[in-house]
């Protein structure tokens, strides 16, 4: 989560400057590859690297994907479109817990990693063909693969051809010289070394101009990226609505992802569920509630926006104000009779915000820095929110028990919902400024 947060802002800037399609394809491919590689780890350090790179992939995907959706869906359809996107995220997350639990129970956790990661490599190729408004249309699949080959393999091989050719020539000449026994010992080795030396010098001479040119290009891009970062930061600081969204978003992220992180352990330790049953119960009802909540929140937010500028804000905050008591009841209930309905209701209410909150952020910033601002939001909300929630709940659980510790989550979520609602005072003015 920390790596995701730190990588979100620079990758959001890259998406704004270059290609959101490319950043999305990069993110999906990276997290899929390193999820699958998790099956091969042999120690904590290797697992840490694999999970960190998954975070980098998600950091590239999130801001660029939502900024691209905002380009296609404007005005009153935006929150619902992002709500559909959030349903995909919820579906994947819950299905991963469910299917991953079943696979781990039957075939071992290494198989689960491979099964979760491998399909994403195909999706990365498909993502590279997404269309971007007002940008060049994507090439065909074969053209995309050829471009990857040209920009990758051929660009690496071409400067090294002199070294490879002279190395082979030196090996051939020294091999022939070794057949003549009258030649002094070591002459063939010296000749081979001479060929290789010439090849190295020739290669360096070819690489220097390329390096200078790419360094110059990188400097220009870095300067532009830094300017874009400053513009995004200034946009956040001078837009009151964004400040309330950032602070409230970090609090509700703390609540939601803390609940997701600890719900399986809670179901095992408090209610005695097996790993497989946790996957089934949590998967089915969490997915049903999350999917319906994401779609409901997006649709209602868009509908209210047509009648009131604060429509999306009220939906974003109300889900947590109403969901706080429901989540607390879920954590306090003893019997299983009410557990499933409360689990469904909690996820239904806690996912209202997915579409409307991102849509509010996109409504009050200029199109040119949307990816950058969303990257900044991920950076802040994750570092100040769900990067803290799991270890803090664990710390409190060791001292007071898991149930009292997890009651912190709906309390923080309730406060976050109220902070989001403060933006009702500023959102109309900030939206009008962007339109102007």
Query: Domain residue spans in the chain?
Result: 2-138+238-435, 159-229
Q: Which residue has the higher pLDDT, 196 or 414?
A: 414
Query: Which candidate, 83, 48, 49, places its Cα nearest to that of 66?
Result: 83
- Take residue 38 and report the two structure tokens written for it: 């998790």
- Take residue 225 and report the two structure tokens written for it: 């990226």
With a cut of 70, say whether residue 267 has pLDDT above it: yes
pLDDT at 325: 94
pLDDT at 221: 44
Dihedral angle, C-alpha 361, 367, 369, 372, nearest 10 °: 50
Residues 396, 406: Cα–Cα separation, whole Å: 9
pLDDT at 151: 54
Query: Which candidate, 56, 21, 371, 57, places its Cα nearest to that of 228?
Result: 371
Would residue 186 be called left, alpha or beta, if left means φ above 0 and alpha means ψ between -120 and 50 degrees?
Answer: left
Look at the alpha carbons of 299, 301, 305, 308 in this order and tell me if their dihedral is positive or negative: positive
pLDDT at 215: 41
State phi, psi for 43 to the nearest 5 degrees: -175, 175
pLDDT at 211: 47
pLDDT at 160: 64
pLDDT at 410: 94
Kindly state the average pLDDT of the residues 86-113: 81
pLDDT at 219: 45
Each residue of 42-96: pLDDT tens digit? Answer: 888 899 999 999 988 888 888 888 888 888 887 677 888 888 888 887 777 777 7
Q: Give domain 2-138+238-435's CATH superfamily.
A: MFS general substrate transporter like domains (1.20.1250.20)
CB contact set of 275 (below 8 Å; sequence gap of 6+): 101, 104, 105, 264, 268
Q: Do 414 and 254 touch, CB atoms closer than 8 A?
A: no
pLDDT at 236: 60
Kindly state the average pLDDT of the residues 368-388: 79
Query: How high is the mean pLDDT of the chain?
Result: 79
Kindly state the average pLDDT of the residues 363-384: 79
% pLDDT > 70, the chain: 79
Of 122-126, 150-154, 259-263, the least confident: 150-154
Instruction: Using the structure block, give the residue that is written with the tokens 């070394």.
Output: 193
- DSSP class of residue 348? H
Longest dimension (CA), the chain: 98
């Amino acid at each position: 989560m920390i790596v995701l947060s730190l990588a979100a802002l620079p990758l959001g800037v890259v998406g704004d400057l270059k290609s959101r399609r490319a950043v999305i394809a990069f993110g999906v491919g990276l997290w899929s590859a390193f999820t699958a590689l998790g099956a091969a780890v042999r120690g904590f350090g290797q697992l840490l690297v694999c999970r960190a790179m998954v975070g980098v992939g998600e950091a590239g995907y999130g801001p660029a994907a939502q900024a691209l959706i905002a380009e296609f869906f404007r005005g009153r359809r935006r929150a619902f479109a992002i709500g559909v996107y959030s349903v995909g995220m919820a579906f994947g997350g819950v299905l991963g817990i469910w299917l991953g639990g079943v696979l781990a129970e039957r075939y071992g956790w290494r198989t689960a990693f491979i099964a979760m990661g491998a399909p994403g490599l195909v999706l990365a190729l498909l993502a590279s063909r997404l269309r971007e408004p007002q940008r060049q249309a994507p090439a065909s699949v074969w053209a995309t693969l050829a471009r990857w080959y040209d920009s990758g393999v051929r660009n690496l091989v071409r400067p090294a051809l002199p070294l490879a050719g002279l190395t082979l020539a030196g090996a051939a000449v020294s091999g022939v010289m070794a057949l003549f026994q009258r030649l002094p010992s070591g002459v063939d080795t010296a000749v081979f070394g001479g060929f290789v030396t010439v090849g190295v010098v020739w290669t360096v001479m070819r690489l220097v101009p390329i390096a200078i040119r790419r360094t110059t290009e990188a400097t220009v891009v870095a300067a532009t990226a830094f300017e874009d970062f400053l513009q995004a930061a200034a946009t956040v600081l001078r837009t009151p609505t964004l400040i309330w969204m950032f602070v409230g978003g970090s609090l509700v992220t703390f609540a939601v992802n803390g609940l997701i992180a600890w719900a399986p352990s809670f179901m095992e330790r408090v209610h005695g569920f097996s790993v497989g049953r946790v996957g089934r119960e949590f998967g089915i009802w969490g997915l049903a509630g999350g999917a319906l909540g994401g779609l409901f929140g997006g649709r209602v937010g868009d509908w209210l926006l047509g009648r009131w500028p604060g429509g999306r804000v009220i939906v974003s905050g109300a889900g947590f104000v109403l969901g706080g008591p429901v989540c607390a009841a879920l954590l306090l209930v003893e019997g299983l009779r009410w557990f499933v309905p409360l689990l469904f209701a909690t996820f239904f209410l806690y996912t209202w915000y997915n579409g409307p909150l991102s849509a509010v952020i996109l409504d009050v910033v200029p199109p040119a820095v949307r990816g950058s601002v969303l990257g900044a939001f991920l950076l802040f909300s994750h570092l100040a929110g769900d990067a803290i929630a799991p270890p803090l709940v664990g710390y409190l659980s060791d001292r007071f028990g898991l149930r009292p510790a997890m009651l912190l989550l709906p309390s923080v979520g309730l406060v976050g919902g109220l902070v989001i609602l403060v933006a009702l005072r500023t959102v109309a003015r900030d939206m009008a400024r962007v339109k102007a």
